[in-house]
Amino acid sequence: AQSVTQPDIHITVSEGASLELRCNYSYGATPYLFWYVQSPGQGLQLLLKYFSGDTLVQGIKGFEAEFKRSQSSFNLRKPSVHWSDAAEYFCAVGNNAGNMLTFGGGTRLMVKP
Amino acid sequence: EAQVTQNPRYLITVTGKKLTVTCSQNMNHEYMSWYRQDPGLGLRQIYYSMNVEVTDKGDVPEGYKVSRKEKRNFPLILESPSPNQTSLYFCASQLHGASSGELFFGEGSRLTVL
């Protein structure tokens, strides 16, 4: 069975500081990996995805993530955080059959002015 | 506008009173899915459907039913709701499958069972 762990439940960073959100997955084959963001009272929006190829993927809103197979990780990064980035972030792994997308528990990001 | 629409957005009900949460998408997507979101647990998949008349259990199907009679609609049925089904529910759709690309989410339905 596939699973995702996001070790950090809450993270607080200052506006303008860099950000890294951690994600570790468990899946027996090459995974399909995603990061979604949820703003308060909203549904989820896709930030970026990894299917194959270049292990550093670029997403919307200046986010990027790096797939590291040896560490089973897919960490999300942003060089300079904006106050509007305050939200909850979810890492997810999809199976090859395309029927299951498993989410991590989420990381809530707070941004200090 | 491409969207996934859920109704109701908010509902308070009592134990045992059957309810249905509707979900409709206008993007001609084959794949649809229901998730529940609980604090600290992220989103957990309840049921999914790969196409019309094809449904299957996700990770937490107990106490729920679904049907897929038309491509656009995927209702979630709670035959006899219990307090442990108090949660935030999301419907989602994708053109071919959950891993094929971006999953499009509805705005969520917050359900409270007393």
User: How many other C-beta atoms lie within 10 A of the C-beta of residue B64?
Assistant: 20
Q: Which residues of B touch A98 (CB under 8 A)?
A: 31, 50, 96-100
Distance of alpha carbon B7 from alpha carbon B75, whole angstroms: 10
According to the model, what pLDDT value does residue A58 have? 96
Per-residue pLDDT of chain A (113 residues; tens, 9 = 90+): 789 999 999 999 999 999 999 999 998 888 899 999 999 888 899 999 998 889 999 999 999 999 999 999 999 999 999 999 999 999 999 988 888 899 999 999 999 99
* Partner-chain residue, chosen from B48, B50, B102, that has the shortest CB–CB distance to A46: B102
pLDDT of residue A96: 82
- For residue B42, what are the contacts with CB-CB under 8 A and spacing of at least 6? A4, A6, A90, A103, A104, A105, A106
Per-residue pLDDT at B100: 74
Any alpha helices (H) in A1-113, and if so which ranges? none
- CB-based contact, B3 to chain A, within 8 Å: no
Q: What pLDDT is recorded for position A99?
A: 82
Search chain A and give the residue with CA nearest B9: A41
Q: What is the pLDDT of residue B68?
A: 97
- Per-residue confidence (pLDDT) for residue B57, from 0 to 100: 95
Q: Do B42 and A90 touch (CB under 8 A)?
A: yes
**Residues of chain B predicted below pLDDT 70:** none
